[in-house]
Structure 1
Amino acid sequence: MFRRKNHSNSEQGGEDQQHKVKELRASLGQLSGRSAQFCTDACLKRFLEARNWNVDKAKKMLEETLKWRLSFKPEEIRWNEVAKEGETGKVFKANFHDRHGRTVLILRPGMQNTAALDNQMKHLVYLIENAIFNLPEGQEQMAWLIDFTGWSITNNVPVKSARETINILQNHYPERLAAALLYNPPRLFETFWRIVKYFMDPKTFQKVKFVYPKNKDSAELMKSYFDVDNLPTEFGGTATLKYDHEEFSRQMAQDDVKAAKFWGSDKHPPGPGGNGNYSAVEVAPEP
């Protein structure tokens, strides 16, 4: 009796969500080019989820993202443009997945090697896009592992950089982050954290987990996300973490070919906006 009721409620919830997706799609008007390609049903669901299934708010958020993508052109960034940023392995895609099959990005803020914010964000966006592109079928989220080895107040990420990272992640890639695991942050980081956490919306904030090696709950949390045989020793596992810039560059170059084919930029010459088949304005104007 109760099972039937729960099953019915689940079905009703699914129908309501599908209705919201259709409503959001209709409200966007006709899309073209890469905007149409970007706005899959799964994409619309993520934006609706990020705005608690409020269609008007989700529409506003999504239109801002489409404008951002038109300007930033994340799908056109190629590894050779950002390779210098990656020389130290400060951010890279891990060679393992978490227990749910999610792509894992490893971030090592203590390995910062440049000062130009624009290039740093371009590098990060490239790797976010690459992580998403490499998600297995049926999985839409990634996990971040943040290693604080070598981090100090002298090489600390500026607040402006942290704020822009948070802005890009939560406003333009909603519901793409499953968890950000901050491994063994030093006490000095607490001051920095007290500032940057105010830039986070509640959904993003809840996904940030502080992990400490000698804490039993932290160890259990890591085991719930990762197989210790895959996890590098830097994060309490038994595997060896080694970033080979040349090998990683070869992998990214191969992925660039696949991404270009997916987005169609291998077939279409750049138009006036340098965007191939990307039209100048791809959101229908307000009536």
Structure 2
Amino acid sequence: MSETVYLPINPPAEPAVPLPHPELTDGEKQMQQEVQKHFEDPAYTPSAEKPLMDVEKMWLSYECILRYLRASKWKVDVAIQRLEATLKWRREYGMYETVPADVEPEAVTGKEIPLGFDVHGRPALYLIPSRQNTTESTQQIQFNVWMLERCIDLMPPGVESLDLLINYADKAKNPSFGTARAVLNILQDHYPERLGLALILNVPWLLNTFFKLITPFVDPVTRNKMKFNPQVIEDGIFSPDMVMAQWWGGSYKFEYEHDKYWPALIALCEERTKAWTATWQKLGGKVGLKEFDYKRGHLEHTEAAPSVPAPEGADSVPAPEGAES
């Protein structure tokens, strides 16, 4: 690519080589049904305030329940407790009230950029600490969460995780131990099974010490996903056209211009979530529907369906009539 670009990369209709989960045993299928039944109960409420909203029922997908079961070592009671804790946290955190303008001051320098997809279709989220533009605050953490949610919006059918591409060059400003711990706790408690890889460049000596301090608080599975100074193309993680030329050696010549990138990202994510919600409603609008089905169903309605391999347990869904595109 010879020309500089300023916009997000559109998600692929299908991941190149989706990463499948092991086939579920009969016992694991029964566990999923047990957790789902708990949240399907019409009398269930996450708190005393109000019953489950549609957006919460949609979040409580088949895959979401499995993510929490895997993270809970297939203990049904633990998975239910963790799901309930996340439902409560999402309400208290203002997940459903936050709008782009609330976090936009954090975005103007391009310190966090969703851009491109790895060979498995996982969205890439670039973190560039040298572009830090605000003092540490709850808004910084809120922005981290908001960007993570946008990466989830960008995931193609069958993809459930993302990659972090972190570059500590150019006198990067390191987060405090307290901020790093707060973000880490949110990721581990409320976004299990969402990290694909953490790819980290140019770690200075002082930051090495910081990583040693924070490592005991990182679960072993996450720790094994961290790769320092990787060659992302040579290592087969990204194709050249899906990764930045700057720092990462790809062929995508991207430059961050906030007034171009920011509205394009918002529009792209809103378009996808609106279409998926419409398809989810057409499929019944209830707890336990499959993310793969409402994403796939939308694709089947809007274009010639690509050959996306269904994850274990996903059904073949006909195109819903009248789904919005």
TM-score range, shorter chain: 0.7 to 0.9
Conserved in 2, the CA contact under 8 Å of 1:24 and 1:59? yes
Cα deviation, residue 262, structure 1: 6.6
In 2: Cα distance, 1:257 partner to 1:239 partner: 24
Contact 2:153 2:273 in 1 (8 A): no
Alignment of 1:205-224 (within 5 A): 205-211=223-229, 218-219=230-231, 223-224=235-236
Quote the Cα distance in structure 1 between the aligned partners of 2:190 and 2:272.
19
Within the alignment, does 1:18 sit opposite 2:29 as a pair? Answer: yes
List alignment gaps of at least 5 residues for structure 2. 1-21, 45-51, 278-325
Structure 1 residues 109 and 61: CA distance shift in structure 2, 3 A: same
CA contact (8 A) 1:79 1:252 kept: no
CA distance in 2, matches of 1:56, 1:209: 33
CA spacing shift, 1:242–1:14, aligned 2, 3 Å: farther
Gap regions ≥5 residues in structure 1: 1-9, 212-217, 265-287
Matched, 1:253 2:266: yes
Give, in whole Å, the separation in 1 of the partners of 2:140 and 2:123.
Answer: 21
Task: Note the C-alpha offset of 1:60.
Answer: 1.5
Measure, in 2, the Cα distance between the counterparts of 1:92 and 1:249: 9
Aligned match of 1:67: 88
- Give the equivalent residue in structure 1 for 2:240: 228
Counterpart position of 1:110: 130
Provide TM-score, normalisation by structure 1. Answer: 0.78
Using the size of structure 2 for normalisation, the TM-score is 0.69
Give the aligned partner of residue 64 of structure 2.
43
**1:78-132 C-alpha deviation (Å, 9 max, x unpaired):** 22111110111111111x2111111110001121111142101111111111110
Q: Determine if contact 1:180/1:207 at 8 Å carries over to the other structure.
A: yes
* Structure ranking higher in helix proportion: 1
- Misfit runs of 4+, over 6 Å: none
Output one character per residue of 1:51-91: Cα deviation in whole Å (capped at 9) or x when no partner: 11111211121111111001112243222111110111111
Asked whether the 8 Å contact 2:153–2:269 carries over to 1, the reply is no
**In structure 2, the residue corresponding to 1:76 is in which secondary structure?**
coil
Q: Within the alignment, does 1:133 sit opposite 2:153 as a pair?
A: yes
Distance 1:139 1:261 in 2: 18
Distance 1:93 1:187, change over 3 A: same
The equivalent residue for 1:241 is 254
* 8 Å CA contact 1:78, 1:256 repeated in 2: no
Does the aligned pair in 2 maintain the 1:78–1:126 contact within 8 Å?
A: no
1:178 counterpart letter in structure 2: G
Q: Relative to 1, partners in 2 of residues 1:58 and 1:225: Cα closer, same or farther, differing over 3 Å?
A: same
State the distance in 2 between where 1:174 and 1:27 align. 20
Deviation at 1:261, TM superposition (A): 4.0
Partner of 1:99: 119
Residue 143 of structure 1 and its aligned partner are, at CA, apart by: 0.8
The answer on whether the counterparts of 2:233 and 2:250 sit within 8 Å (CA) in structure 1 is no
| Correspondence for 1:267 | none
Q: Identify the range of structure 1 (84-93 vs 202-211) with the bigger mean alpha-carbon deviation.
A: 202-211
d(CA) in 1 for partners of 2:113 and 2:241? 19
Between stretches 43-52 and 233-242, larger displacement belongs to: 233-242
* Identity score, percent: 31
Q: 1:161 aligns with which of 179, 183, 192?
A: 179
Quote the residue 1:4 is aligned against: none
Bigger Cα displacement from structure 2, 30-39 vs 193-202: 30-39
The one-letter code of the counterpart of 1:24 is V
- Alpha-carbon distance between aligned partners in 2 of 1:118 and 1:201, rounded to the nearest angstrom: 24
Q: Which has the higher contact order (CA 8 A, sep 6+)?
A: 2
Match of 1:146 in 2: 166
What number of residue pairs does the alignment pair up? 245
Inter-partner Cα distance in structure 2 for 1:188 and 1:245 = 31
